Amino acid sequence: MRRLSLILALIMLLTCIPVHAADAPILTAFGDSIAYGYGLDDPASQAYPALIAKSAGAVLRNHAVNGQTSAELLTMLRTGAFDEDIRAAAIITLSIGSNDILRPLLSGMTSADNMDTAFYTEFIKALTGRNDTMTRLAEIAKGFGENFRAIIAYLREKNPGAVIAANNLYNPYAGQSITAGNKTFRMSDVGETWIAPLNAMFPVSDNYVLVDIHSTLNSGGLTNARIVLMRFDPHPTQTGAARIASTVCDTAALRNFTRAVFRDVETWQWHYPSASWATRTGVVTMRSSGRYYPNTPLTRGAFVTMLGRAMGTAGIRGDTGFSDVPATREDAPYIRWAVENGITDGVGGGCFAPDTLLTREQLCTLIERCLKNLTDVSLPSPVTDFTDADRISGWAKDAVGTAAALRLVVGDETHAFHPSGTATRAQLAAILLRLTNLTRRD
């Protein structure tokens, strides 16, 4: 009987241990007290990254720090202590910048103990833009912009495939006013004066998704601030945190996130980052089964389709000029685009052979033509130090060497290239991700 009781107790204990599926995506969060969940009853479950993780079925690794500035976050990242969680992430959320302005601006203004004549003097100066912080606002905004770009560059370097969702700054005093002396100040307007210069610093870039929580939280009751009570706490309420989470989840990248969670690709596999990137950007489309099929052999038609999408084109519709490529084929616009841009041509006899498999050395020759015809990348001297370099066809040696020198292609664990081997979907996605990073203009 005692033994049975022990067994039952063990079963109950095991059922209480949370178990995450091996393929559950990782959400890694960075930022300040907004991401940490400061002021919420249960930050671990109510902070906006936790709500996103729950919605996405992800495992949360939250590294947010209360009061953190952009400079402090950048320093923290550069220690390398969080690289593992960055590389493992399918989603990275970022909330940073508020403390760059609020820390110097509101220092000494958040406690009733400081509500003396000196406090009011500084407060009026802040409201009217005459205190020291306001005169340095352009300098503060510039520093934030530089730090933010460096943060995004660091995250993207460590994880080329993750969805990086960064929030802009919201106005914590939206809809509130205060009377000081004989003048009434609309705190909405004053708050905009403080944060607008920093919001102008978020760059337009394919490196990340900018989430507009400024518009989402542009109404009263969503933060803890109550100016009439001299309470300046800018943090979101539980409703405000939920509103931030829903805004992040409603971005196109997160709405389609399930497309980047695969039944046949694990997060530790070498092709996971490029698979995530390819599905997130539409370079490849997911099957209804939720499978990516990384080892699918690459055809000529599939190659030009993926290449065209990676280069940002929808192809050229109309007659392709090939008897085996009717205009109704999905790859037809990309075949015509590739031919017209000198990337490839037919195989003779008025045919393109779209379903013919592509070898790895053939793939390199097509990539080299793309680099020459569609980019301004300076091509380095070819490097062909693969252990099986003698098996590369003479007509492909320079192209393979160029791709290798640019690190677009790499060998296997024995540093062999396998030039006559059939290229795969996973291999091309990895090459295209490296190619877009090589040609990106931020």
User: pLDDT for 294-346, tens place per residue?
Assistant: 889 999 999 999 999 998 888 999 999 999 999 999 999 999 999 999 999 88
Residue 137 amino acid letter: L
User: Looking at the structure, do residues 290 and 397 belong to the same domain, yes or no?
Assistant: yes
User: Looking at the structure, do residues 287 and 242 belong to the same domain, yes or no?
Assistant: no
Least confident of 13-17, 92-96, 295-299, 359-363: 13-17
Q: Identify the pLDDT of residue 108.
A: 46
pLDDT band at residue 128, thresholds of 50, 70 and 90? low
User: Looking at the structure, do residues 165 and 312 belong to the same domain, yes or no?
Assistant: no
User: Looking at the structure, do residues 198 and 308 belong to the same domain, yes or no?
Assistant: no
Phi, psi (rounded to 5 degrees) for 28 = -105, 125
User: Looking at the structure, do residues 287 and 232 belong to the same domain, yes or no?
Assistant: no
| pLDDT above 70 (res 139) | yes
- Which residues are CB-neighbours of 83 under 8 A, at least 6 positions away? 158
Q: Are 218 and 174 in contact (CB under 8 A)?
A: yes
DSSP assignment of 219-275? STTSBS-BGGGTB----B-HHHHHHHHHHHHTSHHHHTGGGG--SS--TTSTTHHHH
User: Looking at the structure, do residues 282 and 252 belong to the same domain, yes or no?
Assistant: no
Mean pLDDT over 226-245 rounds to 78
Place of tokens 């109704």: 328
- Per the structure block, which two tokens stand in for 226? 């109550």
User: Looking at the structure, do residues 300 and 169 belong to the same domain, yes or no?
Assistant: no
Q: Which residue has the higher pLDDT, 209 or 254?
A: 209
Mean pLDDT over 403-417 rounds to 88
pLDDT band at residue 4, thresholds of 50, 70 and 90? very low
| pLDDT above 80 (res 174) | no
- Which residues are CB-neighbours of 19 under 8 A, at least 6 positions away? none
User: Looking at the structure, do residues 234 and 146 belong to the same domain, yes or no?
Assistant: yes
Q: Are 210 and 163 in contact (CB under 8 A)?
A: no
| pLDDT above 90 (res 85) | yes
Q: Identify the pLDDT of residue 391.
A: 95
User: Looking at the structure, do residues 298 and 430 belong to the same domain, yes or no?
Assistant: yes
Long-range contacts of 110-118 (CB under 8 A, 24+ apart): 110/232, 110/233, 112/230, 115/230
Domain range enclosing 341: 274-439
Q: Which residue has the higher pLDDT, 232 or 432?
A: 432
Q: What percent of the chain has pLDDT over 70?
A: 78
CATH number (domain holding residue 253): 3.40.50.1110
Q: Which residue has the higher pLDDT, 342 or 384?
A: 342
- Which residues are CB-neighbours of 371 under 8 A, at least 6 positions away? 377, 379, 402, 406, 435
* CA–CA gap between residue 100 and residue 68 (Å, rounded): 8
Task: Give SS3 for 353.
Answer: coil
| pLDDT above 90 (res 194) | no
**Residue 268 maps to a domain:** no
Q: How many domains does the chain have?
A: 2
**Residue 8 maps to a domain:** no
| Rg of the Cα atoms in the chain | 27
For residue 109, with 0-12 CB atoms within 10 Å meaning exposed, 13-18 middle and 19 or more buried, which class applies? Answer: middle
Most confident of 37-46, 52-61, 408-417, 433-442: 37-46
Q: Identify the pLDDT of residue 260.
A: 52
Least confident of 29-43, 73-87, 184-198, 373-387: 184-198
pLDDT band at residue 54, thresholds of 50, 70 and 90? confident
Q: Identify the pLDDT of residue 193.
A: 79
| pLDDT above 70 (res 10) | no
**Residue 155 maps to a domain:** yes
Residue range 62-79, pLDDT digits in tens: 999 999 999 999 999 999
| pLDDT above 50 (res 110) | no
* CA–CA gap between residue 264 and residue 228 (Å, rounded): 56
* CA–CA gap between residue 441 and residue 205 (Å, rounded): 8
**Residue 17 maps to a domain:** no
**Residue 41 maps to a domain:** yes
User: Looking at the structure, do residues 331 and 401 belong to the same domain, yes or no?
Assistant: yes
